Structure 1
Amino acid sequence: MGKAGLQGWREKVADAVAEPVARRAGVADDQVRAVIGALFLVLSVMYVVNAVRQLAGAR
């Protein structure tokens, strides 16, 4: 699920850091990409929730 959300610059970031992090952590590259994708998903959801809260508070 997390890896599917990696597109554009987010995919480039994940590709750049996945191999070194995977080597140090002893996990697969795909697992690192999935975690990065999930992190970007959480950040996006937080952004939307905060925007909705601000909109609701402005009324």
Structure 2
Amino acid sequence: MDAISFGKAGLGGWRASVADAVAGPVARRAPVTDDQVRAAVGALFLALSVTYVVSSVKRLAAR
């Protein structure tokens, strides 16, 4: 599994729409491809989801 595939795993539904909306403009201004921008956005959403789940489990375990 490469980094782009990993990042794209975090995209689905509205998250994919957000990634599609920002991929073009960012890729035109930075030395990256559309796919790399989508992967970065997907990785960000995936990390935020994991953080949310971990904090929820910690709160549950504290009870």
TM-score (norm 2): 0.87
CA RMSD of the aligned region, Å?
0.8
TM-score (norm 1): 0.92
Q: Find the counterpart in structure 2 of residue 27 from structure 1.
A: 32
* Unmatched segments (≥5 aa) in structure 2: 1-5
Deviations 1:6-46 (A, max 9, x none): 11000000000001011111210000000000000000000
* Unmatched segments (≥5 aa) in structure 1: none
- Between the aligned residues of both structures, percent identity stands at 71
CA–CA distance in structure 1, aligned partners of residues 37 and 19 of structure 2? 8
CA–CA distance in structure 1, aligned partners of residues 40 and 11 of structure 2? 11
Aligned residues: 58
Which secondary structure state, in structure 1, belongs to the residue aligned with residue 12 of structure 2? coil
